Amino acid sequence: MPDFFYGAELTNSEEADYGSQGLLIPLEGLIEEYAPNFLKLMEEDPTIRPSITAPDGHIYALPGLDHNQTSKTPIMWINGIWLEKVGLDKPTTMEELYQLLKTFKEEDPGNVGTVLPLTANTPADLRLGLLPNFGIVQDNGIYVDDEGVVRYAFIQPEFKEYLKFMNRLYAEQLLDNQMFSQTWEQFVAKGKQTGVFAMWPIVQVGFADPAEAMNYPVLPPMTSSTNDQKLVQGMSHIRRGRAAITRDNKYPAATMRWLDHAYSEEGTILSRLGIEGETYVYNEDGQWILLSQDGLSTTETNAKHAPGVGTNVPMNLTAEFFGQEGGNPTILAIYDWVMEELHPYARIPYPLVYFTDEELRVITRYQLDIRNYFEQMEARFITGADSIDGTWDEYVNTLEKIRLDEFVKAYQTAYDRYAAAQK
């Protein structure tokens, strides 16, 4: 075996399996003695340790930490040019969003002919962006409520109201009616026809000058008939499985010291930016700017000396680090939008946990049938093929017959173990 894995992206089951077999060595003792940078981060953030601790109580792999503002919440965007032309403000409620979409369709402020007021590449993208406005954030349908009880989002009253809202949009052709069947190519080809969307503007709309992204502000969190609090889907900043030390390593202490350097400011800059003067420089404002060598893009140049470009390695990418990016004022403005309008309301629905073999067996056994049936019925409810009120009880009963309760119980058991580890 190699001395250690670096940028291997080990899964949680691989960490647990290889650790229990003795192929990977426990790291908690080495962390305490030889990793002051990472140890300090764990002390400052109590969610890290339980998120990287396997069911047997050991830590077998080090994570990466990514506080990029745009990777911790889903983002939806508004065509700001259209918004200005119709003379409306950004919506603060779901009813105001409906009125905005209706106005886009009726007035065609972009003179595009066929207006698609709301679109997304997949229904899941819309769920992530809009369901929180009805009071639920979820991760593949799973969330933990305020009492520590794990629940399945897609049988809750809030989700039922979400479906009714989406069905209303679909019936009035305010929601892209091809969303359930379109290809990626068909989706991006519609870019200039869209008013509100869930894809980065430069991809959705397709413009050459990145500064044009300033014309597409973020859609803010909104309230609704089932939710009077702003809520946004949150995502963990912890990226597990980035580095692990094997049993064949003769110098585990030295390896841990080397890995720990990546969690320092100097180590993170080296891992992500490379070598100053060759792959990046600082401008007069103290901001870093990536360089490009002849015939290479900035990313290709950067990747020659920065292992954290294109490979997920241990490092601590802070919000301050991303805020020091120079040469691209547009991305800094987007960071500010996200930090001001989305992050204060973000909530992670379910933490990073390790599942036991038995829990994984249960989840794997039932999740495909549950997901397939749910997605089928979601499409039928939104398109009007099935009545939401008339078929709801049958829908819930069918999920229960697919053993939804056992599926949720596995998540509950894992969450209880995670919560106990934080005490």
Q: Are residues 187 and 321 in the same domain?
A: no
Of all residues in the chain, the percent with pLDDT exceeding 90 is: 73
Nearest-5° angle of CA 371, CA 372, CA 375?
A: 80
* Boundaries of domain holding 49: 4-69+235-272+311-347
What are the pLDDT digits (tens) for 149-173?
999 999 999 999 999 999 999 999 9
User: Which pair of tokens denotes residue 162?
Assistant: 């979400």
Q: How many domains, the chain?
A: 3
One domain, residues 213 and 245? no
What does the alpha-carbon distance between residue 298 and residue 104 come to, in Å, rounded to a whole number? 38
The dihedral through the CA atoms of 80, 86, 87, 93 has a sign that is negative
CA–CA separation, 82 and 60 (whole Å):
52
Q: What's the mean pLDDT when you consider all of the chain?
A: 93
**Arithmetic mean of pLDDT, 381-389:** 98
| Residue 202's CATH number | 3.40.190.10
In terms of Cα–Cα distance, which of 407, 412, 413, 352 is closest to 374? 407
Residue 387: per-residue pLDDT: 98
On whether both 332 and 392 belong to a single domain, the answer is no
Contact criterion met (CB below 8 Å) for 261 and 316: no
User: CA 254 to CA 420: how far, in whole Å?
Assistant: 32
Task: Encode pLDDT of 93-145 as tens digits.
Answer: 999 999 999 999 999 999 999 999 999 999 999 999 999 999 999 999 999 99
Residue ending a domain, choose from 297, 321, 347: 347
More confidently predicted of 251 and 286: 251
Residue 131 and residue 226 in one domain:
yes
Single out the residue of 45, 189, 162 nearest to residue 98, CA to CA.
162
> What's the one-letter identity of residue 87?
G
On whether residue 119 sits in a domain, the answer given is: yes
Question: Which ranges in 291-403 belong to alpha helices (H)?
Answer: 298-303, 319-323, 329-341, 357-383, 388-401
Same domain? For 83 and 149 the reply is yes
Average pLDDT over residues 409-422: 92
Residues 185 and 95 in one domain: yes
For residue 12, what pLDDT band results from cuts at 50, 70 and 90? confident
Q: In 10 A of CB 192, how many CB atoms?
A: 13
Say whether pLDDT at 241 is over 90: yes
* CA dist list (Å): 165 to 95, 141, 168, 175, 393: 9, 19, 5, 10, 19
pLDDT for 236 equals 92
Predicted pLDDT of residue 323? 86
290-297 long-range contacts (CB < 8 A, ≥24 apart) are 290/327
In a domain, 277, yes or no: no
* Cβ(366)–Cβ(402) below 8 Å: yes
pLDDT at 192: 86
